[in-house]
């Protein structure tokens, strides 16, 4: 749920958690409502698919998921996904149906004005975990300072910056934040203190480009440890824990300084979901929403 559009309207995304064997009338829709719950307007998956087809796009959307982002100019970024078959990928003989993300800018009339596909900009052979659910994006942020997008991809362990330029950008990936990305980590140990299977990034400063701060929910599902460190061994660190890192990003120096990194107790290991936000009094609110103590 996202507050948007006017002081008294909400923007909701309804989509099924399971995308097979569902009734034909199952909701897959982005909907604006007022506080009485009345629909102001809505965009269905079928409407968006038809609009994309009319513009010459030949992929078939599987569904909306995770996030929808209202923009200052009245447009919205909707997050959806689709499948592409690949033959004989390394380690995957035969045909593999790879699921990847697509970001679509729609105007006030729900007409697509800009489309970004992970299949056009990322290497399908990089898949840290849960392949062929390849990218599994879960959050989009708008950088008001430079008019670009930050996109969190859980199954890549990355937050990337995309050249969006208010729907006029090339879609190029400007940088990749996370393990194996473009930034040098300070104030922590690489790779263990990066975020893994992350959710809910948010800006912690009013500025959103250049030098800025970013909070992230580090779920920690597939955390990587330095050579020689054996997690869950006697005297070693736990293999599974979640954290709430706050990073100062310097886009010129390409550094990420770990300002703080609250590690939740093992009982709050949250293998998915969650957010990290800065409260008005300067405290940090971290939502460890899915505590799980069994090993993953």
The CA distance from 256 to 160, in Å, is 13
Average pLDDT, the chain: 93
Q: In Å, what is the CA distance from 178 to each residue of 69, 175, 218, 229?
A: 22, 10, 11, 20
Alpha helices, H only, the chain: 45-54, 118-121
- The average pLDDT across 179-207 equals 97
Length of the chain counted residue by residue? 296
Q: In degrees, to the nearest 5, what angle opens at C-alpha 100 toward C-alphas 261 and 226?
A: 35
Nearest to 153 by CA among 182, 122, 183: 122
Strands, DSSP E only, in 107-189? 112-117, 137-143, 148-153, 158-162, 173-177, 184-186
* Burial of 273: CB neighbours in 10 Å, binned 0-12, 13-18, 19+: middle
289 phi and psi, to 5 degrees?
Answer: -90, -10
- The residues with which 43 forms a beta bridge, in sequence order, are 30
pTM of this structure: 0.94
- Whether the bond between 132 and the residue before it is cis, its omega within 30 degrees of 0, is yes
pLDDT band at residue 1, thresholds of 50, 70 and 90? low
pLDDT band at residue 4, thresholds of 50, 70 and 90? low
- The average pLDDT across 83-107 equals 98
Sign of the C-alpha dihedral computed for residues 19, 23, 24 and 26 taken in this order: negative
- The average pLDDT across 17-26 equals 63
pLDDT of 48 higher than 80:
yes
Number of H helices, E strands in the chain: 2, 19
CB atoms within 10 A of CB 255: 16
The CA distance from 135 to 110, in Å, is 25
pLDDT digits (tens, 9 = 90+) for 101-132: 999 999 999 999 999 999 999 999 999 999 99
Structure tokens at 135: 């990218």
């Amino acid at each position: 749920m996202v507050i948007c559009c006017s002081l008294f309207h909400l923007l909701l995304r309804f989509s099924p958690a399971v995308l097979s064997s569902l009734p034909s009338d199952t909701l897959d829709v982005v909907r604006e409502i007022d506080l009485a719950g009345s629909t102001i307007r809505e965009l269905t998956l079928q409407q968006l698919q038809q609009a994309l087809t009319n513009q010459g796009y030949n992929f078939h959307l599987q569904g909306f998921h995770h996030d929808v982002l209202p923009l200052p100019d009245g447009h919205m970024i909707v997050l959806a996904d689709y499948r592409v078959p690949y033959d004989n990928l390394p380690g995957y003989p035969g045909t593999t149906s790879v699921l990847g993300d697509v970001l679509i800018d729609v105007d006030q009339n729900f007409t697509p004005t800009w489309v970004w596909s992970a299949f056009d900009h990322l290497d399908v052979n990089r898949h840290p975990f849960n392949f062929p659910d390849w990218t599994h994006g879960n959050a989009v942020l708008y950088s008001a300072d430079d008019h670009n997008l930050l996109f969190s991809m859980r199954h890549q362990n990355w937050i990337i910056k995309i050249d969006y330029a208010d729907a006029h950008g090339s879609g190029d990936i400007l940088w990749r934040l996370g393990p194996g990305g473009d930034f040098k980590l300070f104030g922590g140990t690489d790779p263990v203190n990066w975020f893994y299977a992350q959710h809910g990034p948010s800006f912690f400063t009013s500025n959103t480009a250049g030098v800025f701060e970013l909070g992230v929910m580090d779920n920690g599902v597939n955390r990587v440890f330095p050579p020689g460190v054996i997690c869950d061994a006697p005297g070693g660190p736990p293999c599974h824990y979640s954290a709430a890192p706050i990073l100062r990003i310097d886009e010129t120096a390409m550094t990420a300084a770990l300002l703080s990194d609250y590690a939740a107790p093992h009982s709050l290991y949250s293998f998915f979901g969650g957010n990290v936000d800065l409260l008005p009094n300067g405290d940090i609110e971290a939502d460890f929403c899915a505590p799980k103590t069994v090993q993953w």
